């Protein structure tokens, strides 16, 4: 618990935490405001209706979550890699081990802090995203009557929880990659390459790629409410959401086992 609390305090003040949330909120805000502006100027009724989807409730809830969980996965990979890599590059892991801390407890405590930060970041992004969507609806002259739709609000917590778990899995993957690389930059670069490489490989190996970490993370939140999510594509036949959620758990646990196992056996110098 002491390591977890210490890690959480450390992450709250880290620039990577602010940059990650700021990037998600900034992109989401640009897309929403652009959609509201395009809808006003569009001469095509169909194009205008599609542009207004992000500011029309209750559907806007699903689309905001879809964007967060799609692009948020990439941000989570980078965030997990940045935190894990800095433990090696900045010598904090070495200092902790020198004080007699358990390597396993230190790695798991640090990742537990990342899990909490991911939850806080997603929650903040969603709240701000809804606020921006309301501004966009006002600019576009769209009614916000669906804002309090009971059915949508009732299923949002479960969908958000599945999404959070999927994003945590992707953060764990970045965490493990950076731990193996023992480098922040190498971990981030490899994590990004893995993310886009998996999407590209789905063109040629769809039956294999659907079991890979990013594909199962997307499939786990594709309950039909989000229309398939962002970045899911149509190249890979997605797994059933519950099956995908089990694989998400397997990839999450596997990533942490790799990170812990490597750290336990690594020679910490420098």
Average pLDDT score, the chain: 86
pLDDT band (50, 70, 90) for residue 39? low
Residue-level pLDDT at 223: 56
Are 210 and 239 in contact by the 8 Å Cβ rule? The answer is yes
Residue range 143-164, pLDDT digits in tens? 888 898 999 899 999 999 999 9
37: exposed, middle or buried (C-beta count within 10 Å: 0-12, 13-18, 19+)? middle
Cα–Cα dist 133/34, whole Å: 11
Angle at CA 98, nearest 5°, toward 97 and 102? 30
Cα–Cα dist 52/74, whole Å: 26
What's the pTM? Answer: 0.89
Residue 270 lies in a domain: no
Residue range 198-254, pLDDT digits in tens? 888 888 888 889 999 999 998 988 755 444 444 444 445 678 989 999 999 999 999
Residue-level pLDDT at 227: 43
> Tokens at residue 25, please?
């909120």
Residue 157 lies in a domain: yes
Percentage helix, strand, coil for the chain under 3-state DSSP, each rounded to 5: 80, 0, 20
Residue 245 lies in a domain: yes
Instruction: Tell me which residue range forms the domain holding 140.
Output: 2-265
Q: To which H or E segment does residue 129 belong? A: helix 103-140
Residue 113 lies in a domain: yes
Residue-level pLDDT at 27: 92
Question: Which of 23-32, 111-120, 214-223 is least confident?
Answer: 214-223
Are 35 and 50 in contact by the 8 Å Cβ rule? The answer is no
Are 264 and 103 in contact by the 8 Å Cβ rule? The answer is yes
Mean predicted confidence (pLDDT) in 72-98: 90
Residue range 59-71, pLDDT digits in tens? 889 889 888 888 8
> Tokens at residue 194, please?
């893995």
The highest-confidence range among 22-26, 40-44, 143-147, by mean pLDDT, is 22-26
Q: What's the domain count of the chain?
A: 1
> Tokens at residue 182, please?
């023992």
Per-residue DSSP letter, 182: T
């Amino acid at each position: 618990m002491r390591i977890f609390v210490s890690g959480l305090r450390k992450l709250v003040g880290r620039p990577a935490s602010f940059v990650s949330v700021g990037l998600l909120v900034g992109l989401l805000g640009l897309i929403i405001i652009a959609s509201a502006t395009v809808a006003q100027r569009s001469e095509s009724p169909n194009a205008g209706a599609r542009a207004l989807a992000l500011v029309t409730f209750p559907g806007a809830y699903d689309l905001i979550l879809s964007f967060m969980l799609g692009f948020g996965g990439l941000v989570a990979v980078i965030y997990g890699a940045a935190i894990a890599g800095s433990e090696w590059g900045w010598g904090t892991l070495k200092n902790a081990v020198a004080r007699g801390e358990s390597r396993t407890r230190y790695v798991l405590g640090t990742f537990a802090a990342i899990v909490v930060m991911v939850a806080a970041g997603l929650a903040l992004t969603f709240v701000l995203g809804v606020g921006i969507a309301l501004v966009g609806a006002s600019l576009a002259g769209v009614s916000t009557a669906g804002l309090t739709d009971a059915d949508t609000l009732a299923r949002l917590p479960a969908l958000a929880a599945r999404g959070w778990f999927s994003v945590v899995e992707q953060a764990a993957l970045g965490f493990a990659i950076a731990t193996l690389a023992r480098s922040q930059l190498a971990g981030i670069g490899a994590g990004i390459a893995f993310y886009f490489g998996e999407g590209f490989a789905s063109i040629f190996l769809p039956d294999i790629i659907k079991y890979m970490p990013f594909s199962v993370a997307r499939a786990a939140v594709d309950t039909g409410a989000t229309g398939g999510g962002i970045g899911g594509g149509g190249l890979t036949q997605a797994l059933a959401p519950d099956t995908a959620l089990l694989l998400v758990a397997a990839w999450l646990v596997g990533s942490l086992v790799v990170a812990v196992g490597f750290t336990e056996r690594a020679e910490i110098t420098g």
